[in-house]
Amino acid sequence: MAPPPGHCLLLLCALGTFALNRFARGQKNSTLIFTRENTIRSCSCSADVRDCDYSLANLMCSCKTVLPFAVEQTSYNGRLTIWFTDTSALGRLLNFTLVQDLKLSLCSTNTLPTEYLAICGLKRLRINTEAKHPFPEQSLLVHSGADGDSKGKPRLLHKGWQTCMYISFLDTALFNRDSSLRSYSIENVASIAHNFPDFSYFKTFPMPSNKSYVVTFIY
Ligand SMILES: *[C@@H]1O[C@H](CO)[C@@H](O)[C@H](O)[C@H]1NC(C)=O
Ligand SMILES: *[C@@H]1O[C@H](CO)[C@@H](O)[C@H](O)[C@H]1NC(C)=O
Ligand SMILES: *[C@@H]1O[C@H](CO)[C@@H](O)[C@H](O)[C@H]1NC(C)=O
């Protein structure tokens, strides 16, 4: 005996809802952090927001104000976007963190000093300096190594800086330039502290020296 059509519809509906839920869960929100007038807002966004449009972000994303120490987390899953206005704020948010997909937008006309940001596991970097130069967004593929597994799950992000194999140094003065983004990588670096004595901060940051790293300079 065939079930009455109403049941069919109900079943279809249920299936549809199930599929929709799966779809919504499959689409991961990205993290947006912005600093403004000494406050830090951390947002979860399901869609891209025009860079440096603070009110739009507050409207479209789910945002909360966070205390400075609360954002000193060491790893980010998924896409991370940071809107910043000065080097110190950016350093506090990003220095020595683990992130694979990063977008940085300078939202001021400030000239930034040369300082290096150390980032672990960076695969894709996007830069926007629209507030300063009328340039289109720039993009750089840093590495496509298999630090995470094939499904894009960043396994590495659960381990911490100590196990970092891909280290990027980003020169913050790159935001001042009107030239395009450049990078070079050095593979099989045996010891960071030994090979890059200028980066004195590795002396205060203990790293196992008997493994090899891929070091990328972005400038
Ligand atoms: C994803 O972002 C939307 C706003 O764009 C928000 O309402 C929702 O709570 C976020 N979901 C998660 C899991 O954070
Ligand atoms: C990142 O941390 C190192 C070591 O503490 C420091 O020398 C460097 O200036 C910091 N970079 C930024 C952009 O704050
Ligand atoms: C690296 O050195 C540490 C301490 O010197 C040692 O415990 C560890 O087994 C070494 N790892 C490798 C892969 O050789």
Q: Tens digits of per-residue pLDDT, 59-90?
A: 999 999 998 877 766 788 889 999 999 999 99
CA dihedral 93, 95, 101, 107 (to 10 degrees): 50
pLDDT tens readout for residues 88-131: 999 989 988 999 999 999 999 999 999 999 999 999 999 999 88
Pocket probe mutation, ligand 1, options 27, 29, 33, max atoms within 8 Å of Cβ? 29
Pocket flag, ligand 1, residue 45 (CB < 6 Å):
yes
CA dihedral 31, 34, 38, 39 (to 10 degrees): -40
Q: How many CA atoms lie within 13 A of 208 on its CB side?
A: 10
- For the question of whether the overall pTM of this predicted structure is more than 0.75, the answer is yes
Pocket probe mutation, ligand 3, options 163, 210, 212, 213, max atoms within 8 Å of Cβ? 210
Nearest C-alpha neighbor of 81 from the set 138, 128, 132: 128
| Residue 69 vs residue 25, higher pLDDT | 69
Instruction: Kindly report the average pLDDT of the chain as a whole number.
Output: 81
* Ligand 1 centroid to residue 184 C-alpha, Å: 36
